[in-house]
Amino acid sequence: MRMGDKNYSMKEAMMFSQRIAQLSKALWKSVEKDWQQWIKPFDLNINEHHILWIAYHLNGASISDVAKFGVMHVSTAFNFSKKLEERGYLKFSKKESDKRNTYIQLTEEGEGVLLALMESYEPDSNAVFSGAMPLKELYGKFPDIIEIMAIVRNIYGDDFMEIFEKSFSNIDRKFSDEDGKLKKIDPAKKEYA
């Protein structure tokens, strides 16, 4: 393809790539610090928390699914899942119809830890949340970050974004905000309400 056939210039391409790289690095540094601070009292690292999150929302995820949706190598997903199993938070299984893949399931204790983590979330100690508050105050809502989601969709695919959206849809449907804390809705109480 000749240079004239492109609908962008090399300078434009490089500037975009570097802008994304530098902003992503700065944002990730803050996200990583916020995330580690949040999960530290539960003696989890980011990969372990992410695996618990995925296991909760996918309910019977394969290690391959965890790796894909956790954006980690399969060996990383397996090794951290194994540590969570040793702590009693996950159980491993094989399916009769699929002996090649290993599946994980949250244990009751694992779900309890994840729910306690969600309940312990403190927005005021989260730099990224605080950084977005002026936009919420100005526009009446948090940024949708649609352009970033479109870029991620083009890199990781539709099924990645479906799982991404499913986790937030699950929270919206299965949790309520009570006294400033996130609480899982008791299905028995919901039926009678």
pLDDT digits (tens, 9 = 90+) for 56-98: 999 889 999 999 999 999 999 999 999 999 999 999 998 888 7
> Residue 1: pLDDT band by 50, 70, 90 thresholds?
very low
pLDDT at 189 over 70: no
Going by C-beta distance under 8 Å and a sequence separation of 6 or more, which residues neighbour residue 147?
none
Taking the CB of residue 107, how many other CB atoms lie within 10 A of it? 17
pLDDT digits (tens, 9 = 90+) for 35-57: 999 999 999 999 999 999 999 99
* DSSP secondary structure, 45-72, as one string: -HHHHHHHHHHHHHSSEEHHHHHHHTTS
pLDDT on residue 107: 97
Give the whole-angstrom CA distance, residue 53 versus residue 39: 12
Tokens 């028995």 belong to residue: 188
- Find residue 182's DSSP bridge partners: 177
Strand, helix or coil for residue 99 = strand
pLDDT digits (tens, 9 = 90+) for 126-148: 999 999 999 999 999 999 999 99
Range with the largest mean pLDDT of 86-90, 155-159, 167-171, 186-190: 86-90
pLDDT at 3 over 90: no
Mean pLDDT, rounded, for 19-43:
96
Residue 55 corresponds to which amino acid? A
pLDDT on residue 4: 59
Give the whole-angstrom CA distance, residue 169 versus residue 161: 12
> Residue 191: pLDDT band by 50, 70, 90 thresholds?
low
* DSSP secondary structure, 5-45, as one string: GSSS-HHHHHHHHHHHHHHHHHHHHHHHHHHHHHHGGGT--
pLDDT on residue 51: 97
pTM of the model: 0.86
pLDDT digits (tens, 9 = 90+) for 109-118: 999 999 999 9
